[in-house]
């Protein structure tokens, strides 16, 4: 199984809503990532988890809250988002630190209204 | 910003032609990777070239790396309509988990 599975594929939420994005991999990878991508732009790193511990937070606003319940799962909790947070949110995993390929999920298309 | 630059930003070619895109980066690297993204969905890893390699092939893909110029190029030979996608280079930071992506090249292959 070489897949990273993200749910949901699409999400529309209001600015007062609380929602969560989910990501799952069963490749035994020990690093997992959240990226944000706006249209016609490259993915921008948000968070990195290494061995289930938060390793990197790229100064992301607190309305985005990551969680890694176990080595296979990664969540991104969303609360009080702004319309400018609308984007494609990509999850990725890799066996270890950045010396190997990363495997990406298909992303969640988030629209904040 | 550590982000690399790619050029051209967009490229439109006929099926059967070759497509070349370039990536310049800023930091020291152990390797450089190329990814493809179809229609704003997930990224797919294409090829990895290590810092001690100058050229690498994978099927119709040819990647070169010049560490003295901090640049890489991706050549797709005999392009097909299915190659229409955005292509990104990525440079994992040395000793970190960061994959920093270049600005990307949008390739359109016309049938």
Over the stretch B18-76, which tens digit does the pLDDT of each residue have?
A: 999 999 998 888 889 999 999 878 999 999 999 999 999 999 999 999 999 999 999 99
Closest of B69, B38, B71, B65 to residue B52, by C-alpha: B65
Residues 6+ positions from A96 with CB-CB distance below 8 Å: A29, A30, A31
- Could you tell me if B63 lies within 8 Å of chain A, comparing CB atoms? no
- Calpha distance B63→B86 (Å, rounded): 16
B31 interaction partners in chain A (CB closer than 8 Å): 99
What pLDDT band is residue B107 in, cutting at 50, 70 and 90? very high
Tally the C-alpha atoms within 13 A of residue B30's C-alpha that lie toward its C-beta. Answer: 13
pLDDT in tens, A48-67: 999 999 999 999 999 999 99
A31 interaction partners in chain B (CB closer than 8 Å): 97
Contact B98 A100 (CB under 8 A): no
**Intervals of chain A under pLDDT 50:** none
Mutate to test the interface with B, among A58, A60, A101 (most CBs of B within 10 A): A101
pLDDT value for B28: 82
- Could you tell me if B93 lies within 8 Å of chain A, comparing CB atoms? yes
**pLDDT higher for B27 or B7?**
B7
- Calpha distance A6→A104 (Å, rounded): 9
**pLDDT higher for B38 or B100?**
B38
* Parallel/antiparallel/unpaired status of strands A10-13 and A108-112: parallel
- Could you tell me if B33 lies within 8 Å of chain A, comparing CB atoms? yes
What pLDDT band is residue B99 in, cutting at 50, 70 and 90? confident
A50 interaction partners in chain B (CB closer than 8 Å): 97
The three-point CA angle A111-B1-B7 to 5° equals 80
pLDDT value for B54: 97
- Could you tell me if B69 lies within 8 Å of chain A, comparing CB atoms? no
């Amino acid at each position: 199984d070489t897949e990273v599975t993200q749910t949901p594929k699409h999400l529309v939420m209001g600015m007062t809503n609380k929602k969560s994005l989910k990501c799952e991999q069963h490749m035994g990878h020990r690093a997992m990532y959240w990226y944000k991508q706006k249209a016609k732009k490259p993915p921008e790193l948000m968070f990195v988890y290494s061995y289930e511990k938060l390793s990197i937070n790229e100064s992301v606003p607190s309305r985005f809250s990551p969680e890694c319940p176990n080595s296979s799962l990664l969540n991104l909790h969303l609360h009080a988002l702004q319309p400018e947070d609308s984007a494609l949110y990509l999850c990725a995993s890799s066996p270890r630190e950045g010396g190997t390929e990363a495997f990406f999920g298909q992303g969640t298309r988030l629209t904040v209204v | 910003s550590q982000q690399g630059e790619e050029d051209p930003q967009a490229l439109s070619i006929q099926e059967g032609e070759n497509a070349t895109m370039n990536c310049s980066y800023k930091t020291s690297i152990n390797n450089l990777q190329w990814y493809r993204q179809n229609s704003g969905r997930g990224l797919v890893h294409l090829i990895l070239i290590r810092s001690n390699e100058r050229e690498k092939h994978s099927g119709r893909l040819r990647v070169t790396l010049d560490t003295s110029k901090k640049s890489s190029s991706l050549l797709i030979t005999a392009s097909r309509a299915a190659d229409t996608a955005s292509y990104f280079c990525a440079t994992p930071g040395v000793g970190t988990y960061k994959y920093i992506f270049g600005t990307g090249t949008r390739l359109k292959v016309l049938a």
